[in-house]
Amino acid sequence: MKLYLLRHGHADWPGWTAPDEDRPLTEEGIREMRTVAAALKRLNAKPDIILSSPLPRALLTATIAGQALGAPMEKREALAPGFAPAGLGPLLAGREGADVMLAGHEPDFSGIIHALTGGRVKFPKGASAAIEIGSRLEGARLLWLFPAKALIHLYGGERGSDSV
């Protein structure tokens, strides 16, 4: 199984006063995620399904990725900020043999990488990673991790449509 991790794009709004969980992607974040998704397609990322945090910024990130990669998306409350690596087993149960992308948050994703591989990483906004996982979440190895700018630089990616 391949587990892809995709952190939501830029969602920093100056003067934001509503609850943090309601914060959406900015226009810059939307543009960046369209380009990241196109680059992921060129990288040959092929998730069978995308599971997303319920927060608006992650849901829109997952929707953009799903459109570009041709993968269905499902919202999962478990992926809200604070998701712990111990929740991976239940989240992925029944998906053996499938490649799964998670759209979510930091520090959750760096914690998942550390728990699965022992590696300590920084997972910036818009970053993506691929982890190969053996049965029962054992024998994992990090295949790649790209910050958004590096992924776009290395794999190009034409801007996605403005229909999202």
Residue 164 has pLDDT above 50, yes or no: no
Its pTM stands at 0.91
Domain boundaries, the chain: 2-11+20-155
The pLDDT of residue 15: 80
Examine residue 19 and say whether the peptide bond preceding it is cis (omega within 30 degrees of 0). Answer: no
Average pLDDT over residues 66-81: 97
Residue 70 pLDDT class (50, 70, 90 cuts): very high
> Which CATH superfamily groups domain 2-11+20-155?
Phosphoglycerate mutase-like (3.40.50.1240)
Around Cβ 153, how many Cβ atoms within 10 Å? 12
- Look at residue 159 in the predicted model and tell me its pLDDT: 45
What is the layout of strands, in order, in the sheet containing 49-52? 73-75, 49-52, 100-104, 2-7, 128-132, 141-146
* Per-residue pLDDT tens digits for 94-104: 998 899 999 99
CB atoms within 10 A of CB 54: 15
Average pLDDT over residues 148-155: 90
